[in-house]
Structures are given as structure tokens and as C-alpha cells.
Amino acid sequence: MNIKQASAFYYFDCIASEALPDVAMQSLLDGLESESLILLASETDKVMSTVGPLFELCLKELGLNDRTKEQHSIEAAKYYAAIFLSGEMDAETLGFKVGGVSNYESAPEILKEIYMNAVWHDECATEYGYSPGFMETRNECIKRITELAKLLCA
């Protein structure tokens, strides 16, 4: 996970405090320079009350503290989409994870569409049984989620 992705998950309160020093270390290894990154990477007290403020300082020093909610949503969705495209996550799970970071009115349309396709995939089988073309619907949803994930990661 890179620092932009970690920033997105931090924004949505979806990252463990223990991950932040690792992200800082990886950022240093990737060539980013920041005094706060060095402090965070070497922090041994990995509770959020300690590492959270250091991480926020890192974001400020790197100019990543003024990103919008939409930018954070896209970054988190790209992270999930890459996992999906690598075969480590199924389409429906991708859709619901993207829904978790785009559940607000001004969310980017591509993220809303990924989420809605996951919902359709999940709900095409009803409590009354399966509709005649439910597998076709499910396959179309998977196809569309895959297309959108590739577009997102392009």
C-alpha cells in the first residue's frame, strides 16, 4: 500500500494503526523524503493516538493533506480494483468494498456504477427463487465490474 492509498483509507477510518509505520517505511524506500516519515517509520508505539498525528503531519509535509473526499474514494477504489484484477478478490466483493468508500451523494459515477452492479449481482436471486435469466444477469454484472475496474486502474 502506498501513502496515497493509506491516506484514503485513513480518511475513511479503514486502516489499522499498525499499518501506518509500515506505509511510512515503504514510502521512504520508494524515495519520498520527509522528517515525519522517518519518525513514523521508526515509531514503536503503534496506537492510533500516537501514529495518527504523525501520519497527518506526513501528509501535510508531502502535500497530501488537502485531497478531496472524491480523490480519496478513487484512490481506495483503485487499490481494491487492483486486488480484484489480480484475481485475489471476486467482483461482488470489489463492488461492496467500493460501495463502502463511495456511499455519499457526490461520489464519482464510476464508483457508484461498480457498487450498483455488485448489488444487482447479489440480488438477481430473490427470496422467491431465481428469475429465468439470473445467470445471464450475474455474468453481465461481473463483465461490467471488470470493465470498470480496468478503466479505473488505467
3-state secondary structure of 67: coil
Provide the residue ranges of all domains of the chain, joining segments of one domain with +: 3-61, 69-153
What the block records as the C-alpha cell of 60 is: 501535510
Give pLDDT, residue 123: 73
User: Quick one: which of 39, 44, 36 has its CA closest to 18?
Assistant: 44
- Whole-model pTM: value is 0.88
Residues 6+ apart with CB under 8 A from 95: 114, 115, 116, 117, 118, 119, 121, 145
3-state secondary structure of 125: strand
Side chain identity at residue 83, one-letter code: I
Give pLDDT, residue 61: 95
Q: Is the dihedral of CA 21, 43, 59, 36 positive or negative?
A: negative
The alpha carbon torsion through 72, 74, 76, 81 (nearest 10 deg) reads 180
What the block records as the C-alpha cell of 41 is: 517509520
Q: In order along the chain (154 residues), what is the average pLDDT of each group of 10 residues? A: 96 96 97 94 94 96 95 97 97 95 94 92 65 79 95 95
